[in-house]
Chain A
């Protein structure tokens, strides 16, 4: 035991004596383990974040887009207005809302901003009155469009939350917005719609208003949002038939959360790629250790010679250098794991993720670092052990 302690002391003294070189040797395992731990940790944390979002959003919203008879999306495909009623009557459906985005409208919060808003137009959406219910999104200010607005084709609008921020709209403020020069009174602000972020910067008006003011021909929507808490997949498959009834007008459905769900699955291939890259970094680090330690053996040949003259055996000299590699592996692995964990924590904190870090993985990758360092240290250790003391001591 005292022999092992002596070896550890000698190895530690050898490493601390040349701090810059030791730091350079340590960089390999630190970067390798740090890269692996941080990449896997950030990947897992972001997936954890997506899963959390999914739980918040629910997975029962279906989006049905109008599709023309050729199977593609025509110039202005629409869904017949009466299809909304048919979809709403499906057993598992709790809410349906139709929308239609009107093109060629320049929306201005104030006159001076015309050039900017011509370049970056704000979407204007004609919508059914139950959009907040279907999207399960509350109002942050005022109210949504109602029957009165609809039956009177009133020039009132609801705006998305980002647009409200952009306009500097104050809660409850009496204010108008100009759509191609026609003023609309803002009656409310809709909160963020996580599953349809484009709505956050949109202006909402009723279908009758849109038909009156903007000549959209009829009140047929181009998109349906359908909430079906049960049998969502089955409902999603039924909607195209219910919409078309065998006719030319159809719809293609998708469930937005499916995409998020797919993203949130542990992507094995990405993880494997990450591990491969980190492994490569570790191997490069290992080559660095072998390289620097080999040079170190040459530089320390006099020390090796005198130790041999003092009675240290070949194996003791070899093990001494192997212990130096071992210390580098342990220290590098631990520092790398710490650095990786730190990066994961920082990223999670900055992006609002919940930090996910596997302790067995940390220990595992730290151990890989130790193994790589020891394997890398084998050649220099053998080289040191084989040095002949007479060759290194240069007797007079």
Chain B
């Protein structure tokens, strides 16, 4: 059995917004995301889960505490290093898909591979393979407007995994989809489980959370529960 590795950690992370009136979005939160994790972060609106996603995804910097990506402490890094680390280790999937409208499905997936010294042919090949993994290779030359919501989210997933990231972070990935498409997308996420990778879904939907192997519950900027499958 392969031993789980700590891929992404928050160590006593606090995030405060505002200068005059301070709002504590996160209060001294610690969390370890391990390789092989298929987990969810769940909580009501305002519980701090989106703030946590921003910090886990290196899109934000904590007010205090540390964010560690596979032994690299990210909080002290400059924009270039942090961006590079983010691009190499984390893949994002968003509720609103956030596909670039003027690019095809293939072009959108390719965007994640830009500025990495790959030739156009190499990029296209990898992007195509990634689209194949989500079952959309035959629609690779379609623009987002020509795709259904479910298909757009599959393109977004292909874009998230094309760089082979350590952690896939998904923010309400089924929030904009009907139940059938949501089910399909959850199947794809379940299929992304791998001993080397972690998949983390941020949601307020208990049904989605129940489909994962680990559930981290949040309330008022703190983690109130961290349960694994056996206990769930």
Contact = CB atoms under 8 A, between A and B. Distances in A.
Contact of B159 (A13, A17, A310): A310
Contacts of A315: 79-80
A312 interface: yes
A2 B171 contact: no
A3 B114 CA distance: 8
B100 A306 contact: yes
B98 A302 contact: yes
A307 B111 CA distance: 8
Contacts of A389: 59
A393 B94 contact: yes
A306 B94 CA distance: 9
Q: Which of B54, B114, B117 gathers the greatest number of chain A CB atoms within 10 Å?
A: B114
Given A18-B102, A311-B112, A311-B163, 14 more contacts: A302-B98, A306-B98, A309-B92, A310-B112, A311-B83, A311-B84, A314-B79, A315-B80, A316-B115, A393-B59, A393-B94, A395-B95, A395-B171, A396-B172
Contacts of A302: 96, 98
A6 B102 contact: no
Given A390-B59, A396-B95, A10 B50 contact: no
A7 to B, nearest CB: 8
Interface string A1-24: 011001001100110011000000
A305 interface: yes
Contact of B87 (A9, A17, A311, A396): A311
24 contacts: A6-B114, A9-B120, A10-B114, A17-B102, A18-B102, A303-B100, A305-B98, A306-B98, A306-B99, A306-B111, A309-B57, A309-B59, A310-B114, A310-B163, A311-B84, A311-B86, A311-B88, A312-B114, A314-B83, A315-B80, A390-B54, A394-B96, A396-B50, A396-B172
B116 to A, nearest CB: 9
B107 interface: yes
Contacts of B87: 310-312
Given A6-B115, A306-B98, A390-B59, A395 B54 contact: yes
B107 A13 contact: yes
B13 interface: no
A313 B101 CA distance: 21
A312 B98 contact: no
A308 interface: yes
A155 B107 CA distance: 92
Nearest to A9: B120
B119 interface: yes
B176 to A, nearest CB: 9
B198 interface: no
Contacts of A2: 117-119
Nearest to B173: A396
Contacts of A308: 59, 83
